[in-house]
Amino acid sequence: MKFYRNEKIIHNFEGILQLFIGLGAVICGVLMIIQPDGSIIGLPLKMLYGSPFNNFLIPGILLFLVNGLGNVFSAILCFKQHALAGFSGILFGFGLIIWLFVQVNMIGGGHWLQYFYFILGVIELCCGILIREVVNEKQ
């Protein structure tokens, strides 16, 4: 079945989405690493009460590496229409969804950014699945 005729459009859309997610996570992750008390980005330490973290250093490192560099690398795969672009989109889309579930369970939810990034994670995951379908169709 011809699932999608112009695969470059979906690759570029996924790449732009991943670049948006990745660059935001890189910036926030770096700021959390530089100022682990969260003051530089307006995150009060009391948010972490009941979580395994005393400050934002470890969450910042994970945010920088996984959601940041991971999504930037995945965006590059998409822009190059690499065979692993779909798998990478699925992986990091699912990763963002899991990140938000863990975050909400550790520090609580209800902030509009959590909903926004959850939706972006679902879109990223769906685009990854679509790209995989295109790749499988070509084989």
What pLDDT tens digit does each residue of the chain (139 aa) get? 455 567 889 999 999 999 999 999 999 999 999 999 999 999 999 999 988 999 999 999 999 999 999 999 999 999 999 999 999 999 999 999 999 999 998 888 888 999 999 999 999 999 999 999 877 677 6
**Predicted pLDDT at 1:** 44
Give the C-alpha distances (Å, rounded to integers) separating 96 from 30, 89, 101, 115. 18, 10, 9, 11
Q: Does residue 67 lie in a domain region? A: yes
Q: What predicted TM-score, i.e. pTM, was given to this entire model?
A: 0.90
Domain count within the chain: 1
Q: Is residue 35 part of a domain?
A: yes
Residue 110 domain-assigned? yes
Residue 2 lies in a domain: no
What whole-number distance in Å separates Cα of residue 14 and Cα of residue 61? 24
- Considering the domain boundaries, does residue 1 fall inside one? no
Please name the residues in contact with 66: beta carbons below 8 A apart, sequence gap of 6 or more: 25, 92, 95, 99
pLDDT of residue 106: 87
Residue 103, in any domain of the structure? yes
37 lies in some domain? yes
> Distance from first CA to last CA of the chain, Å, rounded?
12
- Domain residues for the domain of 91 are 7-138
